[in-house]
């Protein structure tokens, strides 16, 4: 089943609920649970601090407070070509430094919280502007602000410098998809990688293959993008770096024929993980849909016992254009997750929050550099903590 983007009516909070911030108003735990937010047990709501009242007048007492290749296809395009690469010795995984991929978002939020001013609607208006200008969509922004108000009321927050945990809880409720962030641990596994040209798809394939090698799994690449010039050569470079064999045909071949040969090779060798590149021609959506449907039928017929993942690769620096890519690719194949690339400090990072919220898609990995090891499993808590340099 293809995912369905939430409608605006589903994402916008009920109009009759909280509009202005009034810390003295009571908010129940059930209201937070309806938003997917659980109050911390250790941080139970405190009693509201009573407003200072004028001291009673006293008398002065002197006291001063996502079909097989035929013989004809082989004749037309040449026999399947396989690049055998000596397996590289697995390298130990590097310790990942802390995440901080929000560009100016984190700094702006911290600045807004900098003082000890009273928490008023002015702070929430400022947060709305910060979110929208940091690639967080309008619907998601309004939801976030609404959630922040409820959490703050529940916790009786009265000062802007006490809003750190409130902001983290609101964002976590949008971005955290639990175990869905994890790739299936079942083998054999076939992974279809989809995405537009130039978004980091082939690079991500190389990094992901190297990651599985480090885990002790055998890997095979399939060069299914036969339409883009030099796509196969680019994949072969990454395969050489990682020490992974590649199944490929001549440029212009039927991608499903390449995939068929790749699956046959994987089955005969007992390969654990097959990662297949695909074309990214969104400008010809009808052909792309037919191509991906055919590739999925090949997997269903030739390798029904294999587990499946279909990952969409998105370039974080494209900002809100990534939203239209999710919509269009989501229309042609069932996505199981997203990989966000180029989160190396130049992107605003907020697009991850919008994609997770608006499409209910788990982010599986993030790319943080050009090195073969620069692909990390997505950790929602660490990602959100990066706002505050934690």
pTM of the complete model: 0.77
What are the tens digits of pLDDT across the range 63-100?
A: 444 444 444 444 444 455 665 555 554 454 444 445 55
Residue ranges for the chain with pLDDT beneath 70: 1-29, 31, 33-36, 38-104, 281-285, 344-348, 390
What are the tens digits of pLDDT across the range 321-372?
A: 888 889 888 888 889 999 999 876 555 678 889 999 999 999 999 988 888 8
Q: How far apart are CA 254 and CA 264, in angstroms?
A: 16
* Contact by Cβ (8 Å): 260, 67: yes
Phi, psi of 191 (to 5 degrees): -115, 120
- Sheet strand arrangement including 337-341: 81-83, 246-248, 219-222, 273-277, 189-194, 307-315, 337-341, 363-367, 375-377
Q: How far apart are CA 169 and CA 381, in angstroms?
A: 10
DSSP β-bridge partners for residue 219: 273
Looking at residue 251, what is its pLDDT?
Answer: 82
Looking at residue 343, what is its pLDDT?
Answer: 78
- Please give the structure tokens belonging to residue 210: 């190297």
CB under 8 A, 24+ apart: contacts of 27-34 = 27/150, 27/151, 27/153, 27/154, 28/154, 29/154, 31/150, 31/154, 32/150, 32/151, 32/154
* Cα separation values, 334 from 190, 274, 291, Å: 14, 18, 14
Least Cα distance to 35 among 134, 180, 172, 179 occurs for 172
Q: How far apart are CA 12 and CA 18, in angstroms?
A: 12
Q: How far apart are CA 126 and CA 128, in angstroms?
A: 5
Q: How far apart are CA 253 and CA 76, in angstroms?
A: 8
Pairing of strands 81-83, 246-248: antiparallel
Least Cα distance to 367 among 345, 338, 342, 388 occurs for 342
Q: Strand, coil or helix: what is 333? A: coil
Nearest-5° Cα angle at 322, 296 to 223: 35
Looking at residue 324, what is its pLDDT?
Answer: 87
- Please give the structure tokens belonging to residue 387: 């706002």
- For residue 289, how many other CB atoms are within 10 A of its CB? 16
Looking at residue 35, what is its pLDDT?
Answer: 67
Looking at residue 22, what is its pLDDT?
Answer: 64
DSSP β-bridge partners for residue 341: 315
Can the peptide bond before residue 188 be classed as cis, meaning omega within 30 degrees of 0? yes
Strand intervals (E) in the chain:
81-83, 189-194, 219-222, 246-248, 273-277, 307-315, 337-341, 363-367, 375-377
Q: How far apart are CA 116 and CA 158, in angstroms?
A: 9
Looking at residue 197, what is its pLDDT?
Answer: 82
DSSP 8-state assignment for residue 6: P
Q: How far apart are CA 201 and CA 312, in angstroms?
A: 8
């Amino acid at each position: 089943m293809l995912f369905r983007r939430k409608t605006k009516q589903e994402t916008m909070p009920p109009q009759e609920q909280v509009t202005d911030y009034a810390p003295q108003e009571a908010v129940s735990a059930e209201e937070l649970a309806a938003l997917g937010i659980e109050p911390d047990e250790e941080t139970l709501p405190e009693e509201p601090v009573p407003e200072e009242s004028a001291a009673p007048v006293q008398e002065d007492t002197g006291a001063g407070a996502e079909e097989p290749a035929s013989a004809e296809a082989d004749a037309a395009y040449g026999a399947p070509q396989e690049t055998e690469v000596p397996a590289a010795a697995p390298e130990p995984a590097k310790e990942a430094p802390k995440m901080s991929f929000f560009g100016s978002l984190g700094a702006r939020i911290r600045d807004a919280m900098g003082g000890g001013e009273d928490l008023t609607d002015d702070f929430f208006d400022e947060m709305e502007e910060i979110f929208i200008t940091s690639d967080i969509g309008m619907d998601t922004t309004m939801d976030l602000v609404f959630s922040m108000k409820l959490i703050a009321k529940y916790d009786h927050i009265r000062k802007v410098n006490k809003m750190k945990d409130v902001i983290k809880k609101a964002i976590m409720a949008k971005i955290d998809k639990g175990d869905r962030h994890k790739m299936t641990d079942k083998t054999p596994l076939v992974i279809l990688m989809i995405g537009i040209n130039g978004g980091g798809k082939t690079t991500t394939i190389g990094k992901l293959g190297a990651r599985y090698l480090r885990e002790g799994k055998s890997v095979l690449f399939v060069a299914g993008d036969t339409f883009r010039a030099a796509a196969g050569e680019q994949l072969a470079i990454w395969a050489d770096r990682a020490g992974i064999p590649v199944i490929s045909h001549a440029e212009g071949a039927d991608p499903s024929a390449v995939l068929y040969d790749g699956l046959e090779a994987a089955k005969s060798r007992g390969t654990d993980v097959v990662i297949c590149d695909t074309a990214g021609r969104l400008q010809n959506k009808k052909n792309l849909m037919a191509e991906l449907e055919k590739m999925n039928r090949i997997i269903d017929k030739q390798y029904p016992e294999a587990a499946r993942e279909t990952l969409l690769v998105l370039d974080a620096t494209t900002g809100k254009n990534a939203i239209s890519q999710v919509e269009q690719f989501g229309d042609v194949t069932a996505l199981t997750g997203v990989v966000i690339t180029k989160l190396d400090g130049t992107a605003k990072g907020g697009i991850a929050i919008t994609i997770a919220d608006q499409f209910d898609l788990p982010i599986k990995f993030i790319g943080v550099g050009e090195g073969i090891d620069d692909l990390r499993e997505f950790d929602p808590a660490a990602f959100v903590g990066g706002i505050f340099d934690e």
